[in-house]
């Protein structure tokens, strides 16, 4: 049975009509699929069937080790949303619930290569000198989380130095322990900076520039 | 699993230069209903809101909104939004009103994005936000075990012992959200549980909930995360320490009125005082929903009040 209801599928079809350039969803699963790996693969299969601008590549986390290393994917289920280039936009765990909107958003921005960030933010991002790794922890039922995820992904699109991960917290309990995730959205930047909540763009930027100077 | 998308965007430009007939602050049930009623009266309307849906987004299950036996808060708000987007209503979402002031024949609204809008009439529908408990270490441990959003954060407390503070419907809703994840839930209640019997029954049936009535929280303890809470009897001096990893604070909400407090009279609970037509003391300024002194903070009440406020604003505009 399909994961997406017919109503949602049609809405997605309408949205994907707005895609400019082609894009690819690169997913990592494994031979004996974890339950969420299977759902994630099915979801991405359904999405790629909706538009011929969306190509799906499926890799095995274990046997396609060199691909996992190339994309720096260290856990599954993983989804890379990329175009001609890899912009560093990642989803770990299923982008379900409210995060489904973040997945569609990532596809749209990758396809148009355009973000909604202010010119000022874009200028600041150009001045980064060091790699910045943003992890945004979410739950599917958190209405505030997509704001943080989408902002981080837009920053990754704008800067080749930024990688941005959505991490579905309930699927990676060891990371919750490591980063003490008791609230969502929780953002960890370069392992050193952390903050909670969907903060305004200027504040998010401040944390990113502090990490990437 | 649900897959939720925002309602389709039909962009109506948001213009600073123009003078709107009506500016609505807040897009929860009250603000969105007001917007639809205003649009049907062909008022040139701008809605400014931090988000679409307000507190109702946090309601896991709504069984009291007529027309739907059962619907999640998120789904209901999505339906509200779809209805709003049928009309030519300008929506400025993701922005926050910082100051509302009076000016000649109308109002001026400043936002955190530095915008300045003007309107002939204004409806405040900015709702409420969770209240703090104001006990030691609460603020320091926010996001480290202290939570005000069970819907968002409950899944992070799998297998843990947690406490829910509060006695009303929101508290018991949080308890019931946590049943799926937590190993044990203490419900700390100052006097007695005041929630709807269906919510209490569900909590009792789970076998996971211990009701601690007659206790108040003295302090939350823990270095970099919540480790325990100290509660004391409200009538007596017994002190109990509970080893919990999470504290969900659901002791009611406080109105979002900071931006308006210099223009409009508030009551002792900081609620905007309105009459039964949703009029405030200030001509042209209306308020609706949870931000007002109207009793019963419920979706259906907020929506109804939103409708009344828009119709009152319409009468005000055609008469003035
Ligand atoms: C967990 C929970 C469960 C609930 N369950 C139920 C239920 O089952 N049934 C029921 O009937 N009711 C329920 N309620 C109550 C219901 O959600 C509220 O009564 C209702 O949302 C009030 O609507 P409102 O439009 O007045 O305000 P809100 O929903 O609070 O909306 C206010 C809007 O204004 C915005 N805003 C605030 N300040 C500003 C500003 N300065 N500038 C711009 N925008 C601003 C907010 O972001 C928000 O979008 C529940 C509430 C909670 C918290």
Q: Is the pLDDT of residue B143 over 70?
A: yes
pLDDT at A187 over 90: yes
Provide CB contacts within 8 A for A43, sequence distance 6+. Answer: A3, A4, A94, A95, A96, B3
Q: Is residue B141 part of a domain?
A: no
pLDDT at B10 over 80: no
> How far, in Å, CA of B314 to CA of B45, rounded?
11
Q: Which residue has the higher pLDDT, B225 or A1?
A: B225
Please tell me whether residues B22 and B119 are part of one structural domain.
Answer: yes
The Å distance, Cα A70 to ligand 1 centre, comes to 45
Task: Report the C-alpha gap between B30 and B300 in whole angstroms.
Answer: 9
Instruction: Assess whether the C-beta atom of B255 lies below 6 angstroms from ligand 1.
Output: no
- Say yes or no: B16 and B118 in one domain: yes
Residue B225 has its nearest CB partner, among A142, A147, A180, at A180
The reply to whether B81 and B180 lie within a common domain is no
CA distance A184 to A193: 15
Distance B146 CA to ligand 1 centre (A): 21
List phi, psi (to 5°) of B218. -90, -50
CB of A181 within 8 Å of any CB in chain B? yes
Whole-number pLDDT of residue B7: 74
| Lowest-pLDDT range of B4-18, B104-118, B286-300 | B4-18
CATH number of B91's domain: 3.50.50.60
Containing B147, the helix (H) or strand (E) segment is strand B146-147
Sketch out chain A's domains with CATH numbers: 6-85+94-111 (3.40.30.10), 119-211 (3.40.30.10)
Is B27 a domain residue? yes
Q: How far is Cα A83 from Cα B269, in angstroms, rounded to an integer?
A: 54
Q: Please give the distance, rounded to the nearest whole angstrom, from the Cα atom of residue B29 to the centre of ligand 1.
A: 7
Let me know: does B91 contact B84? Beta carbons within 8 Å.
Answer: yes
Is B3 within 8 Å of A141 when comparing Cβ atoms? Answer: no
Q: Is the peptide bond before B153 cis (omega within 30 degrees of 0)?
A: no
Q: Is the CB of B7 inside 8 Å of chain A's CB atoms?
A: no
Residue B72 lies in a domain: yes
- Domain end among B193, B223, B249: B249
Residues B125 and B13 occupy one common structural domain = yes
Q: Report d(CA B297, CA B129) in Å as an integer.
A: 12
Among residues B230, B249, B268, the one where a domain terminates is B249
Average confidence (pLDDT) over B196-225: 96
How high does pLDDT run on average in chain A? 95
The answer to whether residue B258 scores a pLDDT higher than 80 is yes
Stretch A101-118: mean pLDDT: 95
Do the domain assignments include residue B137?
A: no
| Listed residues B217, B234, B249: the one ending a domain | B249
Tokens of A8: 């949602």
Q: Yes or no: say if B184 and B210 are a contact pair by the CB < 8 Å rule.
A: yes
Q: What does the pLDDT look like over B53-112, one tens digit per residue?
A: 999 998 888 999 999 999 989 889 999 999 999 999 999 998 999 999 999 889 999 999
Cβ <8 Å between A176 and B156: yes
Nearest-5° angle of CA A183, CA A188, CA A193? 115
* Confidence band of B9 (pLDDT split at 50, 70, 90): low
pLDDT at site B102 = 96
Instruction: Check CB contact under 8 Å for A14 and B147.
Output: no
The whole-angstrom separation of Cα B87 and Cα B80 is 12
b/e string for A152-166 if b means 16 or more Cβ within 10 A?
A: bbbbbbbbebbbbbb
B150 pLDDT more than 90: yes
B211 φ, ψ to 5°?
Answer: -85, 125
As a whole number of angstroms, the distance between CA B297 and CA B236 comes to 33
Residue in B closest to A142 by C-alpha: B152
Give the residue numbers spanning the domain of B111: 6-129+253-319
Q: How many residues appear in chain B? A: 320
The predicted model gives A126-146 an average pLDDT of 95
Specify whether B263 is located in the same domain as B239. Answer: no
Q: If 0-12 CB within 10 Å is exposed, 13-18 middle and 19+ buried, where does residue B260 land?
A: buried
**Beta carbon of B135 within 6 Å of any ligand 1 atom:** no
Q: Are B5 and A15 a contacting pair at CB < 8 A?
A: yes
Nearest atom in ligand 1 to B300's CA? 11
Burial (0-12, 13-18, 19+ Cβ within 10 Å), B308: buried
Q: Assess contact for B4 and B78: CB atoms under 8 A.
A: yes
CA–CA distance, B125 with B113 (Å, rounded to integer): 19
Measured in Å, residue A25 CA sits from the centre of ligand 1 at 37
| Cα three-residue angle A3-A154-A4, rounded to 5 degrees | 10
| B232 or A34, higher pLDDT | B232
Categorise residue B272: left if φ over 0, alpha if ψ from -120 to 50, beta otherwise. beta
Rounded to whole angstroms, the Cα distance separating A167 from A90 reads: 9
Question: Confidence band (pLDDT; 50, 70, 90) for A210?
Answer: very high
Question: Which tens digit of pLDDT belongs to each residue from B125-142?
Answer: 999 999 999 999 999 998
What's phi and psi for A14, nearest 5 deg? -60, -45
Q: For residue B8, what pLDDT is reported?
A: 67
Does the structure show a pLDDT above 80 at B181?
yes
Residue B122 has pLDDT above 90, yes or no: yes
Structure tokens at B104: 């000649």
Pairing of strands A193-196, A186-189: antiparallel
Q: What angle do CA A120, A123, A127 make, to 5 degrees?
A: 140
For residues B229 and B173, state if they share a domain: yes
A143 in contact with chain B, both atoms CB, cutoff 8 A: yes
Phi-psi region of B289 (alpha: psi -120 to 50; beta: other; left: phi over 0): left
Report which of B71, B244, B57 is spatially closest to residue A182, judged by C-alpha positions. B244
Predicted confidence at residue B58, as pLDDT, reads 87
Helix (H) or strand (E) holding A80: strand A78-82
Q: Which of residues 59-118 of B touch A (CB under 8 A)?
A: 60, 74, 94, 112
**Residues in B touching A186 (Cβ below 8 Å):** 143
Q: Best mutation site among B6, B25, B28 for ligand 1, i.e. most ligand atoms within 8 A of its Cβ?
A: B28
pLDDT tens readout for residues B21-70: 999 999 999 999 999 999 999 999 999 999 999 999 988 889 999 999 99
Per-residue pLDDT, averaged over A15-44, amounts to 93
The confidence score (pLDDT) of residue B60 equals 85
Number of domains comprising chain B: 2
Q: Look at residue B252 and tell me whether its pLDDT is greater than 80.
A: yes
Do the bridges between strand B246-249 and strand B106-111 make them parallel or antiparallel, or are there none, so unpaired? Answer: unpaired
Q: Which residues of B touch A196 (CB under 8 A)?
A: 142-143
pLDDT band at B211 (very low <50, low <70, confident <90, very high): very high
> Does a structural domain hold residue B31?
yes
Q: Is the pLDDT reported for residue B161 higher than 80?
A: yes
Portion of chain A with pLDDT greater than 70, in percent:
100
One domain for residues B150 and B242 = yes
Residue B88: which residues within 8 A CB-CB, separation 6 or more? B12, B39
Residue B4: pLDDT band by 50, 70, 90 thresholds? confident
* Tokens standing for residue B129: 């936000």
Q: Read off the pLDDT band of A105 (50, 70, 90).
A: very high
Contact yes or no for A95/A138 (Cβ under 8 A): no
The total of other beta-carbon atoms located within 10 Å of residue A123's CB is: 11
**3-class SS at B91?**
strand
Supply the pLDDT for residue B5. Answer: 84
């Amino acid at each position: 049975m399909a994961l997406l209801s017919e109503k949602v599928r049609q809405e997605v079809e309408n949205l994907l009509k707005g895609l400019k350039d082609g894009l690819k969803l690169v997913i990592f699963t494994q031979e004996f699929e974890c339950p969420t790996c299977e759902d994630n693969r099915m979801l991405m299969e359904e999405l790629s069937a909706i538009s011929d601008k969306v190509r799906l590549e499926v890799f095995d986390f274990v046997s396609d080790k060199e691909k996992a290393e190339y994309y720096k994917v260290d856990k599954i289920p993983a989804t890379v949303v990329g175009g001609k280039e890899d912009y560093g936009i990642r989803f770990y765990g299923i982008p379900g619930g409210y995060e489904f909107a973040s997945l569609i958003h990532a596809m749209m921005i990758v396809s148009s290569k355009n973000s909604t960030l202010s010119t000022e933010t874009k200028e600041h991002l150009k001045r980064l000198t060091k790699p910045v790794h943003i992890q945004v922890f979410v739950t599917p039922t958190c209405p505030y989380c997509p704001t943080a995820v989408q902002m981080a992904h837009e920053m990754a699109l704008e800067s080749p130095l930024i990688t941005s991960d959505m991490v579905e917290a309930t699927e990676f309990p060891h990371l919750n322990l490591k980063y003490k995730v008791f609230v969502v959205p929780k953002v960890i930047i370069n392992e050193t900076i952390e903050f909670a909540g969907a903060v305004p763009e200027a504040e998010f930027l401040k944390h990113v520039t502090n990490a990437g100077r | 699993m649900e897959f939720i998308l925002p309602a389709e965007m039909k962009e109506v430009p948001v213009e600073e230069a123009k003078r709107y007939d009506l500016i609505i602050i807040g897009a929860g049930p009250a603000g969105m209903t007001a917007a639809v009623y205003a649009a049907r009266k062909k008022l040139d309307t701008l809605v400014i809101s931090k988000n679409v849906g307000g507190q109702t987004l946090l309601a896991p299950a709504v069984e009291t909104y007529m027309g739907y036996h059962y619907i999640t808060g998120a789904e209901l708000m999505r339906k509200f939004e779809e209805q709003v987007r049928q009309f030519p209503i300008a929506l400025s979402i993701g922005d926050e009103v910082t100051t509302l002031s009076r000016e000649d024949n109308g109002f001026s609204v400043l936002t955190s994005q530095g915008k300045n809008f003007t309107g002939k009439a204004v409806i405040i529908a900015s709702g409420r936000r969770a209240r703090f408990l104001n006990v030691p270490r609460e603020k320091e441990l926010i996001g480290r075990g202290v939570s005000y959003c069970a819907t968002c954060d409950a899944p992070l407390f799998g297998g843990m012992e947690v406490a829910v503070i509060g006695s009303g419907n929101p508290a018991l809703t949080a308890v019931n959200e946590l049943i799926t994840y937590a190993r044990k839930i203490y419900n700390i209640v100052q006097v007695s549980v005041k929630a709807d019997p269906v919510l209490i029954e569900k909590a009792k049936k789970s076998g996971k909930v211990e009701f601690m009535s007659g206790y108040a929280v003295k302090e939350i303890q823990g270095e970099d995360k919540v480790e325990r809470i100290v509660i004391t009897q409200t009538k007596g001096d017994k002190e109990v320490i509970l080893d919990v990893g999470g504290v969900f604070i659901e002791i009611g909400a406080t109105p979002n009125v900071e931006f308006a407090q210099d223009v409009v009279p508030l009551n002792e609970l900081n609620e905007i005082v309105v009459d039964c037509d949703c009029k405030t003391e200030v001509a042209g300024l209306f308020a609706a929903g949870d931000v007002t002194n109207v009793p019963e903070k419920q979706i259906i009440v907020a929506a109804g009040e939103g409708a009344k406020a828009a119709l009152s604003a319409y009468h005000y505009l055609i008469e003035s």
